[in-house]
């Protein structure tokens, strides 16, 4: 309503300036992404040329010093650990957000919120260290060696939970007041208001938060590197160690030369494509929901 | 939040954007001014030495460099890590004045010029609660190739062995493989680590793990009451004293690498790094100084 006052017939100089700067910033971001793609392709090209795309899938294992370059176990590990974390963190995050927003007394909700914000600000290497000295030995008591897919999932869950919660909460806050007020006037219970009115309305916002976090889970490096064991293999259970694409890049990059180094850039490209595919899928599904 | 925002824009949009541009211009000017000042502040006669390579040597070289800078105020030294391979590669490409390699120069690196500044050994560590005190050559090979998977087989307790190895391309792994005549695909690890500290933390957290790490780092951490212990190699104890006496089989020279015979400031720095003036620093980093 207030906005309509600004958008009058002739836009002011200020508006034009803002518009221009926003436009150029957006363009800059576009160029940046394009630049990253080009860089990865250029740096990774020697690997594609020397190894061949097929070898990345058909080689017997990943031993670059012996010219074996199979990356599929690492792609699988990356997807598995991220999917596990998102599946655990999403319901937890939404429940936490609902609790803070609608059930907790104001004071407790405020303290809770501060805690969650604090949790979001902890650097990933701290989570990794905690995982390595506390979580991994705990899991090792259940099943050796402790460094495992499970440890990675749990660490990632803790890491992405705060943002899932905060984004869900802001999505809940944006549900128009009159919707809930009408529902209250109709005498609906709190839970049925949440379930049938608030959650469906806030769904696109919550979904956006989840997708944002899937991207983060896919890209998380340090913590995963410290708790996952980093053995290149397909896990047969959650207790098996795995190596993700990011962990592999971080482990090898400083020490790799030649084709080995180029193959790491190729893996970076792969990771970028996975994230891109995810974002496109998410956009598609949210559009689908919007029309329904 | 949203009302606050829209009101601000509504009432003062023009002036706000005007001010924003003004502030931006001021900030840009400030940045330009500061960067100008910094370049002019650098004395024109100051020369810079770039040293890159092994993360094992880097902390030691950094301290040597600080002491060297104190004696030669006209020289600034920039130490960067990235592994022995990077040290060699940077010398080849002319990106660094001195490279650091935590190993002997290889056959194909004969064209380069190496100066040893100290020695380091690689030892096997287990958790302090592990009753084992030594392992012979054969048992180590059989443990690392996955032939032995229980400590019972080497007169230990009845528990599965967690084999910890290093990621590919690292100098420590190369030396280990070379000594035991193994290829990296023969090794069957449950955990793959990056640097020494990660290995020590992994073993400290897992009573059944075994790992190979720098003896200096392991001795230091064991002295700090980290629950690990070094295993004797056959009858030879894994200690810096044995490395120094030249008896320990798994030892390596810490080497400074240059493209040609060092001259000028590079030569002055290397002479300083091999002098007795820095023996206290070498010992402080738990390496073995040259001749005594």
Q: Which pLDDT score is estimated for A289?
A: 56
A64 neighbourhood in chain B, CB within 8 Å: 168-169
Q: What is the pLDDT of residue B82?
A: 78
Query: Is pLDDT at A276 greater than 70 in this prediction?
Result: yes
Alpha helices in chain A (DSSP H): 3-6, 13-51, 55-58, 72-98, 106-121, 124-130, 136-142, 149-173, 177-185, 190-193, 199-219, 222-227, 245-252, 258-291
3-class state of residue A177 by DSSP:
helix
- Once rounded to an integer, what is the mean pLDDT over residues B84-110? 89
Asked whether the beta carbons of residue A243 and residue B55 sit closer than 8 angstroms, the reply is no
The yes-or-no verdict on residue B12 having pLDDT over 60 is no
What local confidence, expressed as pLDDT, does residue A145 receive?
84
Q: Is A68 helix (H, G, I), strand (E, B) or coil?
A: strand
The per-residue DSSP string of B67-87 comes to HHHHH-TTEEEEEEES-HHHH
If phi over 0 gives left and psi between -120 and 50 gives alpha, with beta otherwise, what is residue A258?
left
Overall average pLDDT of the A177-201 stretch = 91
Q: For A50, which DSSP code?
A: H
pLDDT at A267: 93
- The minimum CA-CA distance between B72 and chain A, rounded to whole Å, is 31
b (16+ CB within 10 A) / e for A147-165:
bbbbbbbbbbbbbbbbbbb
B209 interaction partners in chain A (CB closer than 8 Å): 145
pLDDT at A7: 53
A147 touches chain B (CB under 8 A): yes
Q: How confident is the model at residue A291 (pLDDT cuts 50, 70, 90)?
A: very low
Best-predicted range by mean pLDDT (A26-30, B46-50, B55-59, B233-237):
A26-30
Beta-carbon neighbour count of residue A17 at 10 Å? Answer: 16
Higher pLDDT, B6 or B232: B232
Q: Which of A26-35, B44-53, B273-282 has the lowest mean pLDDT?
A: B44-53
- pLDDT over 50 (residue B42): no
Given a cut of 90, whether residue B99 has pLDDT beyond it is yes
Q: How many residues does chain B have?
A: 292
DSSP class of A100:
I
Place of tokens 């436009």: A23
Q: What confidence score (pLDDT) does residue B39 get?
A: 46
pLDDT interval class at A287 (50, 70, 90): low
State how far residue B248 is from chain A, nearest Cα, in angstroms: 26
In chain B, the residue whose alpha carbon lies closest to the alpha carbon of A12 is B14
pLDDT tens string A133-168? 899 989 988 887 889 999 999 999 999 999 899 989
- pLDDT(A244) > 70: yes
pLDDT the model gives residue B205: 87
Q: Report the pLDDT value the prediction gives residue B11, as an integer from 0 to 100.
A: 41
Answer whether B285 touches A (CB < 8 Å): no
Q: Is A226 on the interface with B (CB under 8 A)?
A: yes
Rounded-to-integer distance, Cα B130 and Cα B152, Å:
12
Residues of chain B with Cβ-Cβ distance to A228 below 8 Å are none
Q: Minimal Cα distance from A15: which residue of B?
A: B14
What are the structure tokens assigned to B11, written together?
């009432």
Average pLDDT of the residues in A244-264: 87
Q: How far apart are CA B164 and CA B125, in angstroms?
A: 10
- Other C-beta atoms lying within 10 Å of the C-beta of residue B186: 15
- pLDDT value, residue B120: 85
pTM of the complete model beyond 0.80:
no
Share of chain A above pLDDT 70, in %: 93
DSSP summary character for residue A134: I
pLDDT at B4: 37
CB atoms within 10 A of CB B275: 12
Q: Is the model's pLDDT at B187 over the cut of 90?
A: yes
CB contact under 8 A, A17 and B190: no
Positive/negative CA dihedral, B95, B96, B102, B106? positive
What's the whole-number mean pLDDT along residues B262-280? Answer: 91
- How far is Cα B244 from Cα B238, in angstroms, rounded to an integer? 11
Instruction: Match 């035991």 to its residue by tokens.
Output: B180
Beta-carbon contacts of residue B47 (< 8 Å; ≥ 6 apart): B74, B75, B76, B265
Average pLDDT over residues A106-112: 90
Q: How far apart are CA A59 and CA B144, in angstroms?
A: 23
Best of B19, B149, B192, B193 to disrupt the A interface (most A CBs within 10 Å) is B192
pLDDT score of B188 more than 70: yes
Q: Answer yes or no: are the C-beta atoms of A229 and A244 closer than 8 Å.
A: no
Question: Cα–Cα distance between A210 and A154 in angstroms, integer?
Answer: 16
Position B6 scores a pLDDT of 38
- Cross-chain residue pair B192–A63, CB shorter than 8 Å: no
pLDDT grade, residue A253 (50/70/90)?
Answer: confident
* Residue in A with minimal Cα distance to B177: A65
Ramachandran assignment for A52, one of left (phi > 0), alpha (psi -120 to 50 degrees), beta (any other): left
pLDDT at residue A207, as a whole number: 86
pLDDT at res. A71: 93
Partner-chain contact B201 A66, CB within 8 Å: no
Please indicate if any CB of chain A lies within 8 Å of the CB of B80: no
Helix/strand/coil for A245:
helix
ipTM entry: 0.77
**A169 token code pair:** 């909460």
What does the pLDDT average to over A233-244? Answer: 93
Mean pLDDT along residues B28-56: 66
Mutate: best of A145, A173, A261, partner B, most B CBs <10 A: A145
Q: Record the tokens describing residue B176, joined without a space.
A: 């280990």
Question: Tokens 């596990």 correspond to what residue?
Answer: A84
With bands split at pLDDT 50, 70 and 90, how would you rate the model's confidence at B22?
low
Residue B216: pLDDT band (50, 70, 90) is confident
| % of chain A exceeding 90 in pLDDT | 51
**Three-state secondary structure readout of B172-192:** HHHHHHHHHCCCHHHCCCCEE
pLDDT grade, residue B5 (50/70/90)?
A: very low
- Kindly write down the DSSP assignment for every residue of chain B, as one continuous string: -HHHHHHHHHHHHHHHHHHHHHHHHHHHHHHHHHHHHHHHHS-TT-EEEEEEE-TTTHHHHHHHHHHHHHH-TTEEEEEEES-HHHHHHHHHTT--SEEEESSPPPGGGTTSEEEEEEEEEEEEEEETT----EE-HHHHHHHHTTS--BGGGGTS-SSB-EEEEE-TT-HHHHHHHHHHT--GGG---SEEESSHHHHHHHHHT-TTEEEEEEHHHHHHHHHTT-SEEEPEETTB--SHHHHHTT--SSEEEEEEEESSS--HHHHHHHHHHTSGGGHHHHHHTT-EETT-
Considering only the beta carbons, identify the residue of A6, A66, A145 that sits closest to B183. A66
Q: How far apart are CA B219 and CA B248, in angstroms?
A: 15
Once rounded to an integer, what is the mean pLDDT over residues B105-134?
Answer: 91
Q: How far apart are CA A135 and CA A133, in angstroms?
A: 6
Mean pLDDT confidence for A69-78: 94
B68-77, B152-161, B238-247: least confident range: B238-247
């Amino acid at each position: 309503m207030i906005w309509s006052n600004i958008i009058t017939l002739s836009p002011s100089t200020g508006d034009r300036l803002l518009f221009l700067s926003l436009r150029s910033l957006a363009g800059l971001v576009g160029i940046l992404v394009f630049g990253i793609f080009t860089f990865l392709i250029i740096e990774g090209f020697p690997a594609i040329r020397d190894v061949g795309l097929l070898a990345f899938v058909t080689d017997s294992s990943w031993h670059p010093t012996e010219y074996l370059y199979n990356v599929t176990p690492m792609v699988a590990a990356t997807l598995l650990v991220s999917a596990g974390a998102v599946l655990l963190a999403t319901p937890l995050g939404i429940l936490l957000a609902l609790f803070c927003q609608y059930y907790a007394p104001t004071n407790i909700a405020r303290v809770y919120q501060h805690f969650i914000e604090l949790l979001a600000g902890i650097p990933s290497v701290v989570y990794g260290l905690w995982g390595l000295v506390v979580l991994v030995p705990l899991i090792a008591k259940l099943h050796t060696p402790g460094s495992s897919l499970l440890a990675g999932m749990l660490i990632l869950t803790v890491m992405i939970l705060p943002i899932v919660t905060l984004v869900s909460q802001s999505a809940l806050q944006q549900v128009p007041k009159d919707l809930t007020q009408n529902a209250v006037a109709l005498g609906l219970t709190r839970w049925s208001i949440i379930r049938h009115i608030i959650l469906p309305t806030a769904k696109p916002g919550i979904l956006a938060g989840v997708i944002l976090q899937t991207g983060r889970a896919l890209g998380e490096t340090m913590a995963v590197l410290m708790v996952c064991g980093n053995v290149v293999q397909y896990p047969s259970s959650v207790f098996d160690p795995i190596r993700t694409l990011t962990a592999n890049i971080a482990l090898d990059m400083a020490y790799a030369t030649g084709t080995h180094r180029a193959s790491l850039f190729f893996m970076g490209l792969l990771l970028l494509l996975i994230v891109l595919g995810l974002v496109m899928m998410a956009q598609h599904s949210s559009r689908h929901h919007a029309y329904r | 939040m949203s009302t606050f925002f829209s009101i601000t824009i509504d009432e003062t949009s023009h002036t706000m954007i005007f001010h924003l541009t003004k502030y931006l211009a001021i900030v840009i000017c400030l940045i330009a001014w500061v960067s100008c000042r910094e370049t002019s502040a650098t004395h024109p006669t100051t020369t810079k030495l770039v040293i890159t390579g092994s993360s094992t040597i880097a902390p030691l070289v950094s301290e040597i460099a600080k002491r060297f800078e104190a004696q030669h105020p006209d020289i600034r030294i920039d130490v960067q890590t990235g592994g022995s391979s990077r040290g060699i590669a940077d010398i080849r490409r002319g990106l660094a004045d001195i490279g650091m390699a935590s190993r002997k120069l290889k056959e194909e690196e004969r064209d380069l010029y190496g100066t040893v500044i100290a020695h380091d050994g690689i030892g096997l560590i287990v958790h302090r609660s592990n009753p084992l005190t030594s392992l012979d050559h054969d048992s180590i090979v059989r443990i690392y190739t996955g032939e032995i998977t229980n400590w019972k087989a080497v007169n230990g307790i009845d528990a599965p062995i967690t084999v910890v190895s290093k990621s590919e391309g690292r100098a420590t792994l190369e030396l280990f493989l070379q000594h035991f005549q193994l290829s990296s695909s023969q090794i069957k690890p449950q955990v793959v680590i990056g640097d020494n500290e990660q290995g020590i933390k992994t073993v400290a957290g897992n009573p059944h793990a075994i790992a190979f790490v720098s003896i200096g780092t392991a001795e230091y951490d064991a002295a700090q009451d980290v629950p690990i212990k070094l295993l004797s190699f056959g009858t030879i104890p894994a200690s810096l004293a044995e490395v120094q006496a030249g008896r320990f089989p798994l030892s390596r020279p810490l080497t400074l690498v240059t493209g040609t015979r060092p001259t000028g400031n590079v030569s002055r720095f290397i002479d300083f790094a091999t002098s007795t003036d820095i023996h206290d620093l070498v010992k402080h980093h738990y390496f073995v100084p040259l001749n005594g």
